[in-house]
A and B are shown apart, each in its own frame.
Chain A
Amino acid sequence: MTAQEVRLCGLLLQEHFGEVVERIGTHLLRGGAQNLRTIANETNTPLDLVKKSLCVLVQHGACEFGSGRRGPGSPVEYRANCERVLRVLRYPRYIYTAKTLYGDTGELIVEEVLQRGHMTMSNTVKTVADRLTHNMEEGRSMEYSEVVSAFSKLVETHFLQRCPPVAEMGTAASSTTPATPSTPAAPASTAPPTAESNPDCYKLPHVTLIGRGKRRRSSDDSEEQRGGKKAKMEVESCGDEGIYWQVNFERFHQHFRDQAVISAVASKLDQTSSEIVRTMLRMSEVTTTQTAAYTQPLSANEIFRSLPPNYSISRPILDQYLSLLVDDPMEFVGKSGDSGGGMYVVNLQRALANLARATLESVVQERFGSRSARIFRLLLRKRHLEQKQVEDFAMIPAKEAKDMLYTLLSENLVQLQEIPKTPDHAPSRTFYLYTVNQLPTARLLLQHCYKTVANLIERRLFETKENKRLLEKSQRIEAILASLQASGAEPEQLTEVEEMITAPERQQLEALRHHINKLDSTENQVDETVFLLESYIFSTKTK
């Protein structure tokens, strides 16, 4: 948990859950596992507010609780999960992906589950059906069965998963363990159970949800209320109480990674080769684990059979493409054998490393110019070079090369490695070599990205605060306009109300909106880089 990460988490919590939750969350992130009393005392917050905030955090999976350090008798300790809070930044991307894969219904399902942290299936279906009905024309409503089918598709492809069962604490655990009572009861599982450890993780509950979405109308209140009560009764007797569903972020990340690899292949080679890689990845979706370095080997025959029907290429051409992919220096695809017409794998880890390297190079290029980028790429490839060698290989005059190297050095993108000739490390008899290490540099850039996003959010909050008065005024006027229009006012009245905002104020509002939109979309874009770097770093961790 670096300082930048904690700062960014704090801002995200503040924007989505309020300042109280932000205070509690930041305190937990900084301080590690703590119990309820400690949190309340150290943050000077009333106990009930602390309880409320912890409920919110646990609901959204940002906080876990477990029995304390001193065994099952000690008070419950809470631990915040930094990574989970940082995911909030990527929510729009998840929702958009669900939309591209499963349409509007899928999009709304994922949005609802993300908003509420975790939900039961029946609850989700009802809410989504109502929302869809609200957007449809008069007289039409959404069938529950359609929503259920979209939900089950999401579960089948593992985008949604069941929440892990809560570990029993206290007396219940000690009664179930058959161990002798004299031995001190060590906690059965020190780590909280993950979702994947549950064998029923992706099993849909057997509930029959029959009904249609209800449209919210202001005219027939009483009918709506009665209808609402009836629907509530239906939901309660649905039988899937206690089975909560959450979004499976890892699966979405897998999808994003596949997308990144495919688009890299498409831009480096051509569309057909990217289709081949897409087919290979699709075939190995279920057989590849999260942290696999490469997919399972696939024979060329299988690939040929599984190609999409509109991409009818002949068998020898497929072989040519495959050999082209294998020979490519990017090493996206590797050949692992010759049986079945050639066994091919997609090198996921290497692909990620290459993507991260391309990101680093492009960062250096945009910040320091293409010649510094040339030096950087050189050092990445040749590992260790002396000052003189850098000048020669990069074909840059000495003075400029020196200047660029020192700039890169001061930014910590390039490191200096000493190699002593003599045991006394005399400076005149030591080699000083410039070097670039990809992994530490990637980590550095990732921290920079977190800092960038935090700065963007702060700037956006600042801009909003500066123009708060103006924003409130425009909101009030919009509300007045809406109510006037609803009650059928004449155009003169509407223009009169509209003129309450003067022209320079309107311009100011327009500029403000433009700035905020720009800041927001920048956050989304930085998050793409964050994802790439995070995936790369994660892939190197688990060997």
Chain B
Amino acid sequence: MAGLGRGRGRGKGYMSFSIEAVGIGKGENLPPSILQPTPLFPPMEHKPVPLVMGEEAEYMLALKQEFRGNMKTLPFYVRQAVSKKDVERYSDKYQNSEPSDNTIEWNPDWKRLPKELRIRVKKPLKENTSLSVDTPVDPKPSKKTRVDKEEIIHKLETLEKKEEEVTSDEGEKKKQEEEQQDGEEEYDEEEFEEETDYIMSYFDNGEEFGGDSDDNMDEAIY
């Protein structure tokens, strides 16, 4: 700037240019110099003009807020997976609804992205009412898991038949339960996607269990 400040170390009132040139007369009262930062909310001499109101403005406001809300629900809103600091629960293995870091929740066109960005696509939860664009990979794993499930059940059945303690009642009961399982399409797929140690159908809640095998008392009932 043109040296409007005080010259360093030259004493009070000396400036590098003649003050008359900029228009300050001799001996005139200058405003006192400010030795502190400006206040955070300085008083405004001129109030701002009121906002433009009207149908257009309101509609755009609604659009804006709706857009923001929608973006939060889309898979593009990346949330960091929160590690639970609590005790590790058994149900965590089967009910993981938190986004995990190493999967992507939507299916981008990988041909348009560099190879290094490719990560596993998380299959969306089978929602009943939404028509989300599923990956074409979807039907195969579910069929595969059903096939797996059936295989495992089949294996277990043959094992059971080999064991002579198991009565035919129990075998029939299990078959019924398996048929029920196959019939239910809306069962939560996620539980079968994980490699479970126990098949969900193997463990029943015990209501029918006690009633049927009353006559087989040599096997311990837990």
Listed in ascending order, the chain A residues whose CB lies under 8 Å from chain B are 15-21, 36, 46, 48-49, 51-56, 58-60, 65, 75-76, 91-93, 95-96, 111, 114-117, 123, 126, 130, 163, 166, 169, 214, 216-218, 221-222, 224-225, 228, 231-232, 235-236, 242, 244, 366-369, 387-388, 398, 402, 416, 418, 427-428, 430-432, 517-518, 520-525
Contact = CB atoms under 8 A, between A and B. Distances in A.
Contacts of A402: 23-24
Given A53-B78, A169-B114, A520-B64, A387 B23 contact: yes
Contacts of B96: none
Nearest to A518: B51
A439 B102 CA distance: 48
Given A36-B116, A427-B16, A49 B78 contact: yes
B21 A432 contact: yes
Contacts of B102: 48
A55 B113 contact: yes
25 contacts: A17-B71, A17-B76, A36-B117, A48-B119, A49-B78, A51-B116, A55-B117, A56-B76, A91-B64, A92-B61, A92-B67, A93-B60, A169-B114, A216-B130, A216-B131, A217-B129, A218-B128, A221-B129, A225-B128, A225-B185, A236-B136, A428-B18, A430-B17, A431-B21, A524-B61
Contacts of A214: 131
Chain B contact-residue range equals 35 or more
B65 A520 contact: yes
Given A96-B60, A432-B22, A520-B61, 11 more contacts: A15-B71, A49-B101, A55-B108, A58-B113, A60-B76, A76-B114, A130-B131, A244-B109, A388-B23, A428-B17, A428-B21
B110 to A, nearest CB: 9
B129 A76 contact: no
B112 A16 contact: no
B59 A96 contact: yes
Interface in B1-32: 1-3, 15-18, 21-24
A318 to B, nearest CB: 31
A92 B60 contact: yes
B22 A55 contact: no
Nearest to A228: B131
A353 to B, nearest CB: 23
For the complex of A and B, 7 pairs with smallest distance between CB atoms = A427-B17, A387-B23, A428-B18, A92-B63, A48-B102, A92-B64, A228-B131
B70 interface: yes
B48 interface: yes
Contacts of B18: 427-428
B128 A96 contact: no
Contacts, number: 167
Contacts of B70: 115
B23 to A, nearest CB: 4
A17 B70 CA distance: 11
B162 interface: no
Contact of A216 (B52, B129, B136): B129
A126 B2 CA distance: 66
Interface of B: 1-3, 15-18, 21-24, 45-46, 48-49, 51-52, 56-61, 63-65, 67-68, 70-71, 74, 76-80, 101-104, 108-109, 111-114, 116-119, 128-131, 133-134, 136, 185-186
A527 B111 CA distance: 35
B131 A521 contact: no
A96 B63 contact: yes
B114 A517 contact: no
Contacts of B48: 366
A92 B46 CA distance: 30
A442 B68 CA distance: 30
A224 B131 CA distance: 9
A18 B81 CA distance: 12
A55 B106 CA distance: 10
Contacts of A525: 51-52, 57
A15 B45 CA distance: 34
Contact of B61 (A169, A236, A517): A517
A53 B114 CA distance: 14
A163 to B, nearest CB: 8
Nearest to A59: B108
B196 to A, nearest CB: 24
B146 to A, nearest CB: 16
Contacts of A235: 133
A242 B109 contact: yes
Contacts of B129: 216-218, 221, 224
Nearest to A35: B116
A366 B71 contact: no
A1 to B, nearest CB: 23
Nearest to B44: A367
